[in-house]
Amino acid sequence: MPFITTTDGTQLYWREWGQGQPMLFLSSLGFGNQMWDYQIAAFAEQGFRCIAFDRRGHGRSDHPARGYDHDTLADDVATLIEQLDLSGITLVGHSMAGGEAVRYISRHGNDCVKRLILLAPMTPMLLKTHDNPGGAPREGFEALWASWKHDYPKWVADNIAPFFIPETSPAMLRWGYTLVQVSVPVALACSRDMVEQDFRAELREITLPTLLIHGDRDRSAPIELTGIPSARLIPDCRFLVYEGAPHGIMYTHMDRLHADMLQFVRET
């Protein structure tokens, strides 16, 4: 069956392709599992069992009225791993899912995970506070959420182009728009919790081989706010910066990304 049931009864849709060592892909805020189509196709051909799922409130999964905090989301990942009896996992997270992956490891350990790959993560801490002066002011996030409550589709449409690069085909841009599979209440709940999270201590405790890849033209997760401080906190992190790359590096720098990920997996 393409669904697993979480501890609170939420049904999560999942799918897999290929056979071999498992790779579990965690999706960005607002995106369904289909965002990983190109990576699933590429790594299945390399002999991996590729698994992706729709986070609660996303895609074909249930849309409960609660559970959009990172603790619950990490527990959902743990339930999926347990019910599919996965081990030796390469855990891959993009954007918000970077924090989701880190929280899974801090709450559930790394017995089932062999290595971690973070792509343009939203860690370590987005919000500006007295002990995090490099963060972004709360006023900016409040303005963002206000725009979502007024016209979320317009915000998505306005931000599709910066997610890609000028050379991206119009067809790919249109396809990218279809990947957003979330309601406004769920998007708000996930975003608010993501902004409030502090992953700094958890990043310092990571003992897994970790690859972090970030673009230096990422407007959604500016590298100075996210990628660079995250890489500094993770012990022995392999940090790759893609020049001119936006947030959607899995599409705009596909071949390079796949080669770097495959090399990392084979070496670790």
Render pLDDT for 96-124 as a digit per residue (tens, 0 to 9). 999 999 999 999 999 999 999 999 999 99
User: What is the mean pLDDT of the segment spanning 58-78?
Assistant: 97
| pLDDT band, very low/low/confident/very high, at 179 (cuts 50, 70, 90) | very high
pLDDT of residue 74: 98
User: What CA–CA distance (Å, rounded) separates 76 from 55?
Assistant: 8
Stronger pLDDT, 95 or 1, i.e. the higher one:
95
> Shortest CA distance to 51 belongs to which of 85, 11, 74, 99?
85
pLDDT of residue 45: 97
Catalytic residue positions? 95, 218, 247
* Mean confidence (pLDDT) of the chain: 97
Beta strand 89-94 pairing with 21-26:
parallel
User: What is the mean pLDDT of the segment spanning 236-264?
Assistant: 98
In CATH terms, 3-267 corresponds, of 3.40.50.300, 3.40.50.1820, 3.10.129.10, 3.40.640.10, to 3.40.50.1820
User: What's the predicted TM-score (pTM) here?
Assistant: 0.97
User: What CA–CA distance (Å, rounded) separates 8 from 56?
Assistant: 11
Dump pLDDT digits (tens) for 181-233.
999 999 999 999 999 999 999 999 999 999 999 999 999 999 999 999 999 99
pLDDT of residue 108: 98
User: What CA–CA distance (Å, rounded) separates 245 from 196?
Assistant: 26
pLDDT of residue 1: 63
| pLDDT band, very low/low/confident/very high, at 125 (cuts 50, 70, 90) | very high
User: What CA–CA distance (Å, rounded) separates 9 from 261?
Assistant: 34
